[in-house]
Every structure is written in C-alpha cells, then in structure tokens.
Structure 1
C-alpha cells in the first residue's frame, strides 16, 4: 500500500508508557478507537491486551495490516521491545506475536519515528522531503525524514537526539546514565529536578514556584501554570528550558537539515503559548548560517503516534518493510 493509492482497513497500535490505544483506520482516518492502561506486569500481558483490543476494535471486519508504534528502545530486526524503563519489563516480541495471531503483515516502529512518518504520509508534511518531529513529553523523542526517507538506523533507534549533549560540563544525569543530555533537562520526569537545580542560580524573590522547586516538587503542570499566572521564578525556569530546547533543536538542524520541525507531546501541546515564540528567538542565536526552519504544531495533536502507526502500515518505510512480519 502506498500513499495516493486507495487504502482499505488497517489496524494502528500505539504503545505508550501510560496508555495503550488501538484504532481501526479506513483510508486516512480512524473509524473506531479503543484504549486501556498499558499493562505493567509482563510482556505477555501486554501482547494479550493488544490482541484483545484489536479483536474488539475491528468488530469482525477484516483488515489488511497492523502498524505498531511503541516506546523503546526496540530491535526492529527481531521485532522486539528491548526494554521499557517506565513499564519495568522488556524482551517482548511484539511483531511476531501479533503476526502469528492475526496472519497479517505487522510493521513495528518507534513512537518518535512514527510521529515523523505521520507528518510525511498523512499530515502537513506531505509535500516536504525533509522534516523532523519532536515530542516534548515524559521524555524527549526525535524522528526525521531526509530525502523523503524515514531515518531508522540499524535496530530502529536512529531517533535518540534527546540524548544529544546540550551541556558538556553538566552534572545532571540522564535516565540513560549519561550527563548533560537534552532530555536530562527538559523531559517531563526531569523538570522537577531541573527547577530545583535552578533555585541555586536564582536571585529574585522566593515565589510559590521557587518554594516548590526548592523541595523538588514543582511538576511540569504546575511550572507552566504558574508561569502563565506571572510567577517570576516559574517564568525564569520556563525560559531556561526553552533555551535548552533551542540548543537541542540546533542538533536536529545540523543532523537532518529539515525544512520544518513539527512538535508534539503533552508539554508542548498544552503550553505552546509559553514555548514557541521564545524557542524561535533562542534558536536564532544558535543556528548561524543554517537558519531557523519552520516550527509547527504537529498535525494530529495527542493522536500523532496513533496516526504514525497507521502511516507505517499504509505506506511502510523501506527499512520498516524489510523487517516486517509476513504471513506464510
């Protein structure tokens, strides 16, 4: 199946750290969606939950293929979820388990890569040959399309620019074990720690946000809400985080030379008013002759990864197609 040709029914699976969603797509739009909490018990329970949702959402209708977009890291060659830190298990062969159950092609990809492919196949990036997708959420994920091709990598993990270095002298440790990473500063799980770190650099009034931050209790939701209400320390912390994002964006520009960068993830989608304008201004300080590409809100909002899973089955990228499950 290729973009521009008539498309039948496909199943899209979005495996998130919190929620598991499965949709039945007809053409380019979902006609039915089911959702449950992602099992935190075992890989076999995860597979069973997906199978149950696929059966439910398909409603007895036949479908042509299954596209799966998952948290990672993954090993696409073997079709496995290697390890999910937020779930506490790994070594789950998602691709072959679903393929053998339903005897349909199964295309597996990372969620950030799926977001980029959603823009290229179904979204506002259809006419672009070079684009990137950034998700600002619990972590920081990146996907890129270069010369019309999704950049995948040998095992499917060529999206880990959240672990690019934005401060080589930093002592803030990332969840992966390294220091100075983009995600270490701005990932949703790390923002309370970043805010606490910033209290040592703050010489202004001890605001409510400052007091929360000093105890490591300033959540992303509270941070942006207080910044919107005018809390001085919160606005300072948001500005600092925007500058870190700008440095990270420069890494994307240098690596992929995109015409546009689409941004999604809950932190951005609910706080675009506090991020986009200042982000672009900070980016101008870093990009030099490269210039600032278009910065756009992702096309499908909270459903970006679900649409990306569908796009992966509708128009499989070459590297994904090579490692797909094929019914015997």
Structure 2
C-alpha cells in the first residue's frame, strides 16, 4: 500500500500523520489556525515536512470541515473557523508534487470504517460525529456517498424543527447542528432554561446566563443535577430526530458514532438515543448504533483511507502532478 500522509482539519485541532501499509507510524497536532486560509495551508505544510521530510510518501489525503467544493478543491466556508475560500487541494499538490485527495471530515469518518475499521464487511453504513459541529457520512451499496460538489452528507443541516428560531452557523433555522453542535449547546441550554418550570439548580443558573458548556452539562448531569439531566435528554431527542432522518435517507445496517461529545459521554447518550429513535423511525427500524473504531483519530484514519483507497467520486477530482 505504500506510505501516505493524512491531514485532519478540525475546528479545534489540526492533525497530520504518516501511515505505512495502513498503519499509523507517526503523527503531530497543533491548534487549527484561525487567522485565515494561508495560515492554515502554511501550518499543514509545516507539519507534513516535520513528519515526512516533504518527500518520503506517495500521496496526501485531506479531511476537512466544510462545506467543500470538490471540483475546485476548495473549502467554501467553515462556520466553526470563521473563514472560507481555502484552496487546499491545489496548494498542497503544488507544494509537495504528490496526488492530493480532498474530502469532508464526516465522509472521511465513514470511509475509515469501510476501508480500515469495523465496517469492512458492511456495504451500508453511516458515520455521525458529535463534536464542535454535527457531521454525517454514508456508504451505500459499498460506495461513499459524495454528491456533485462533495456535500451530499450535510445532514447536520437537516431541519429538525421547522418552527425553530435557533439559527445555525450556516444561516438556516432549526437545523440539527443548531441544537446539538458543541458550539451551540450553551445556547440550546439557555433556550431550555427559558421554558424550565423545575428547581433552579446550578446547571440552570449557568444555562440562563448562556454559560453551560458541553463539558459542564454532561458532568453535572452525571452528578444528578435535574436540569442538566433534562437538557441532555432534550439534546438526545434532537439527535434521535436527526438520526432517524439519516436512517430514511441511507438505510444503513449500522451507524458508527464518534466525536468528543459522544466518545466521552456515550453512557448518557446512546441508551436514550436508541429509545427515542424507536418513536421516530417507524417501520424502518433502528439500525445498530456503535462507537466508531478509531475514537479521537477517526477522521485522521479516514483521511488515510481516502489516500490508500480513494473513492471513485473523490479520485476524479484529485490533484495530480
């Protein structure tokens, strides 16, 4: 399989790794630059040179927050970074004179399962990341679902409440991510607090101020704070609505779930999520819900999988020197 470089561009962290024969052999991480596109490209190039010397590899797989335009190889806009128009594919291709395969982080997470993870023998699967944002990727009939520009997976922007006043970072109202993305959870908790009729617990007080972070929310829920437990349940119901839409869209055998919010709070999310989904999916049934194979490194492995075994819809838009 040779040696490939994998790049994972997240809202918080930028990760680069070298894989050889599908095994991770070295990696590095830094905070994702927020100053603008060129700083991001420079940071990626710097990490690649530090790990691979700039030469000793066959290709680069890049998995980025989006939305993207695969045809032009550009990150159109990253709401959780605050900038866009990032010419990732061609800039890295010219810099290193290697093929560059660009995909969305959630698509990469799904492809990681199909190529390297627990989904190798599954032809129909989905991946959901619960983190700063909410991302979805799907493999249907053994093929990664990509779409005309690379955004067929953007179910984080599915409408879960058409009467909502909560605006998503993309500008739309009532989106799945608008309620449950880590960046939006304090606002969701504040909304729930405005309707709360129970005791004014410590979690309630923080929520009313817009200060109930995801970390505090799940910690307080685990400690028994009644308001925090209610907000977690509320968010789980939103997840159930979104994932039920995913079920009807892609008909997966299994949904793999990752992202820091899920990975650190699976005990508070998965059991209730499955029960709520039963109310929404009807005759379609609830597929298996499983923890993703590679944990915090899921997207990094997905970037590697994209370079090791490029999906046809991504390979046709690759940079080739």
Which TM-score band (shorter chain)?
Answer: over 0.9
Which whole-Å deviations, capped at 9, do the CAs of 1:110-151 have from their partners, x for residues lacking one? 001000000110011000000000000111110000000101
Q: Which ranges of 4 or more aligned residues in structure 1 deviate by more than 6 Å?
A: none
Aligned runs of 1:103-182 on 2, under 5 Å? Answer: 103-182=97-176
SS of the residue corresponding to residue 162 of structure 2 reads coil
Give the number of equivalent residue pairs.
Answer: 321
Distance in structure 2 (CA, Å) of the matches to 1:150 and 1:17: 23
Corresponding residue for residue 210 of structure 2: 216
1:272 aligns with: 266
Query: Residues 280-299 of structure 1 correspond to what in structure 2 (within 5 A)?
Result: 280-299=274-293
- 2:197, 2:78 → 1: CA distance? 40
Instruction: Name the CA distance, whole Å, in 2 between partners of 1:124 and 1:146.
Output: 16
TM-aligned CA distance change 1:299 to 1:321, over 3 Å: same
SS in 2 for 1:271: helix
1:72 aligns with 2:51: no
Q: CA deviation at 1:201?
A: 2.6
Cα deviation digits, residues 150-185 of structure 1 (max 9, x gap): 011111111111111111111211111211111111
Among candidates 10, 13, 17, match of residue 7 of structure 2: 13
| Counterpart pick for 2:248 among 239, 247, 254 | 254
2:96 equivalent to 1:81: no
The alignment partner of 2:146 has SS state of coil
Counterpart position of 2:91: 97
Local SS of the residue matching 1:36: strand
In the superposition, relative to structure 1, how do residues 13 and 83 fare at CA in structure 2: closer, same or farther (>3 Å)? same
What is the RMSD of the two structures over their aligned residues, measured on CA atoms?
1.1
Alignment map for 1:303-322 (pairs within 5 Å): 303-322=297-316
TM score, norm. by length of structure 1: 0.95
> Which string of whole-angstrom CA distances, capped at 9 and with x for unpartnered residues, describes residues 254-299 of structure 1?
0000000000011100100100001001111111110110000010
Q: Which moved more, 1:219-228 or 1:36-45?
A: 36-45
Please report how far the alpha carbon of residue 87 of structure 1 lies from its aligned counterpart in structure 2 after TM superposition.
2.7
Unaligned runs of 5+ in 1: 1-6
Residue 319 of structure 2 corresponds to residue 325 of structure 1:
yes
Q: C-alpha displacement at 1:60, in angstroms?
A: 6.6
* TM-score, reference length from structure 2: 0.98
Unaligned runs of 5+ in 2: none
Note closer, same or farther for the CA distance 1:200–1:89 as it changes in structure 2 (3 Å cut).
closer
Question: 1:206 maps to what in 2?
Answer: 200
Quote the Cα distance in structure 2 between the aligned partners of 1:59 and 1:176. 38
CA distance in 1, matches of 2:80, 2:133: 11
In 2: Cα distance, 1:290 partner to 1:123 partner: 25
2:189 to 177, 192, 195: 195
d(CA) in 2 for partners of 1:61, 1:325: 16
Q: Is the 8 A contact 2:48 2:54 kept in 1?
A: no
- Partner Cα separation in structure 1 for residue 38 and residue 192 of structure 2: 42
